[in-house]
C-alpha cells in the first residue's frame, strides 16, 4: 500500500500540508514538476503562485478552469487566490462537492523571496484551515552551486533553511563535490534537526519529503523522536560548544562574521527532567513571543505538565509570535518522560531562554508556597 493510498483511507482526518520553500533559482519548480508526475503522488493538490512557474507539460493537463488545473497523473495544480487560507478553504469545499479530484495531500510552494512564516501562520492560526488541514513538513531547497553565496547575502534564505523539517541540496550534478560538502556542513550547523538529501534534476523520493508531523494518521501513533530529533541538537552542541547569547562577549560585541547571516541563528533543545508547571510555562511562552516574537523562528516540543495525570504529555508548536493550540496526547510514546523543547532563534541564546524559564518557574513555586502557608500571594 502506498503512502497516498494509506492517507486516502482515513477520509475524516485533517489533510496533511507540506510547504516547499527556497530562494530564487534553488530548484523548487524542477522538484515539484517531477513530483506531480509520480504515480505515488496521485491525489495531491499543488498550490502555487502562477501556473507558468511550474512549467507543466501540456500532455499532463487533463482539464482546468480559471484557478485549478487537473492533471492526467491524478494531481491538481491550483493558483493562490487572495490568500492562502481562502485558497485552502475553497479547495476543500470544491473537494467536498465533488467538483475536483478528492486530493489527500496538499503542497504549497512559496515564492523565492518569501518568508515562510506567514504561510505557517495561516496553517496554524486560521480556525477554518486548522479544522481541515494539518502541517506536515517544511521542505527547503538550497542550490549547491549558489547556495553559500545566497545564505551570505539574503537573510530570507537563511530563515527558509532554519525552519525546515527537510533540507534538499539541489543541482549537485553541476556543483563541485567540495562545494556541496561545505554547503551541507553549513546547513547541518544551521539546522541540526533537519535530514538533508542531495539531489539532481529534481529527483527525490516522496517518502523523504513527507511524514515530519508528530502524529502519523496512517499508524495512529506519535513519533516524538522523529518530530523533534532532539538527539541531533545534543550532538550539535557537543561538537560546537554549549549554546550562549551572541552578545555575551567582551565589550558586548559579537564576533560573528557580518557577511554570514546564519551566524545570528541558534538551534538548541532545552530538556527538563522535572515536570513543568502549566502556568509558568504559559507565561514563559507568552513573554518570549510578545517581546522577541520576530526572532523566535520556530518552537516545538513535548512537555510533561505537572497538573495533568501522568504528566500529559502535551505537544506544542509555534512560529514567531503565533503558537498553535497545545495538543494533549493520549499517552507517552516511550519511557522517556522528560520535557524536550526545540528552539530555532535569531540572536536569542540558550542562556536567555533557560534563565527566563527557570525564573518564572521559581516565581510560580514561591507564590504557591505562600498560598499554602496562608499568606496572600504578592502581586
pLDDT digits (tens, 9 = 90+) for 224-253: 888 888 888 877 776 655 444 444 333 333
In the predicted model, is pLDDT for residue 370 greater than 90? no
pLDDT digits (tens, 9 = 90+) for 115-140: 888 889 888 888 899 899 999 999 99
Residue 213's pLDDT band (cuts 50, 70, 90): confident
With a CB cutoff of 8 Å and minimum separation 6, the contacts of 5 are none
In the predicted model, is pLDDT for residue 211 greater than 80? yes
- State the span(s) of the chain assigned CATH 3.40.50.300: 3-213
pLDDT digits (tens, 9 = 90+) for 201-210: 999 999 999 9
Mean pLDDT value across residues 264-290: 93
- Average pLDDT over the chain, rounded to whole? 84
98: number of Cβ within 10 Å: 8
User: Residue 28 and residue 25: Cα distance in Å, rounded?
Assistant: 8
Cβ atoms of residues 196 and 209 within 8 Å = no
Q: Does domain 3-213 have CATH number 3.40.50.300?
A: yes
> What share of the chain has pLDDT > 70, as a percent?
84
How much is the pLDDT for 230?
83
> What share of the chain has pLDDT > 90, as a percent?
53
Residue 83's pLDDT band (cuts 50, 70, 90): confident
Q: Which CATH architecture has domain 229-372?
A: 2-Layer Sandwich (3.30)
Cβ atoms of residues 267 and 236 within 8 Å = yes
Going by their DSSP bridges, the two strands 166-170 and 196-198 should be labelled as: parallel
Query: pTM of the predicted model, to two decimals?
Result: 0.85
Going by their DSSP bridges, the two strands 15-22 and 166-170 should be labelled as: unpaired
Residue 152's pLDDT band (cuts 50, 70, 90): very high
User: Residue 37 and residue 370: Cα distance in Å, rounded?
Assistant: 65
- State the span(s) of the chain assigned CATH 3.30.1220.10: 229-372
Amino acid at each position: 500500500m502506498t503512502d497516498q493510498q494509506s492517507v486516502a483511507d482515513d477520509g475524516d482526518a485533517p489533510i496533511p500540508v507540506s510547504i516547499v520553500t527556497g530562494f530564487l533559482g534553488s530548484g523548487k519548480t524542477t522538484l515539484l514538476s517531477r513530483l506531480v508526475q509520480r504515480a505515488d503522488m496521485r491525489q495531491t493538490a499543488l498550490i502555487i503562485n502562477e501556473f507558468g512557474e511550474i512549467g507543466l507539460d501540456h500532455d499532463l493537463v487533463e482539464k482546468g478552469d480559471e484557478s485549478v488545473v487537473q492533471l492526467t497523473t491524478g494531481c491538481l495544480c491550483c493558483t493562490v487566490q487572495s490568500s492562502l487560507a481562502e485558497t485552502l478553504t475553497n479547495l476543500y469545499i470544491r473537494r467536498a462537492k465533488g467538483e475536483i479530484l478528492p486530493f489527500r495531500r496538499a503542497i504549497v510552494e512559496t515564492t523565492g523571496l518569501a518568508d515562510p512564516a506567514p504561510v505557517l501562520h495561516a496553517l496554524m492560526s486560521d480556525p477554518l484551515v486548522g479544522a481541515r488541514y494539518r502541517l506536515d513538513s517544511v521542505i527547503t531547497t538550497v542550490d549547491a552551486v549558489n547556495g553559500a553565496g545566497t545564505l551570505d547575502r539574503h537573510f530570507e534564505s537563511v530563515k527558509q533553511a532554519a525552519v525546515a523539517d527537510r533540507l534538499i541540496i539541489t543541482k549537485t550534478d553541476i556543483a563541485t563535490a567540495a562545494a556541496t560538502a561545505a554547503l551541507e556542513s553549513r546547513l547541518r550547523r544551521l539546522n541540526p534537526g533537519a535530514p538533508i538529501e542531495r539531489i539532481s534534476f529534481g529527483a527525490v523520493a516522496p517518502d523523504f519529503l513527507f511524514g515530519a508531523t508528530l502524529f502519523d494518521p496512517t499508524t495512529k501513533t506519535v513519533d516524538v523522536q522523529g518530530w523533534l530529533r532532539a538527539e541531533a541538537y545534543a550532538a550539535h552542541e557537543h561538537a560546537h560548544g554549549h549554546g550562549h547569547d551572541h552578545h555575551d562577549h567582551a565589550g558586548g560585541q559579537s564576533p560573528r562574521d557580518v557577511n554570514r547571516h546564519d551566524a545570528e541563528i541558534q538551534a538548541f533543545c532545552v530538556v527538563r527532567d522535572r515536570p513543568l508547571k502549566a502556568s509558568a510555562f504559559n507565561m514563559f511562552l507568552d513573554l518570549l513571543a510578545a517581546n522577541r516574537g520576530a526572532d523566535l523562528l520556530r518552537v516545538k516540543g513535548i512537555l510533561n505538565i505537572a497538573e495533568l495525570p501522568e504528566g500529559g504529555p502535551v505537544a506544542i508548536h509555534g512560529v514567531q509570535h503565533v503558537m498553535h493550540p497545545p495538543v494533549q496526547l493520549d499517552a507517552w510514546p516511550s519511557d522517556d518522560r522528560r520535557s524536550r523543547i526545540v528552539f530555532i532563534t535569531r540572536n536569542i541564546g540558550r542562556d536567555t531562554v533557560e534563565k527566563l524559564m527557570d525564573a518564572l518557574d521559581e516565581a510560580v513555586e514561591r507564590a504557591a508556597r505562600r498560598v499554602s502557608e496562608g499568606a496572600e500571594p504578592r502581586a
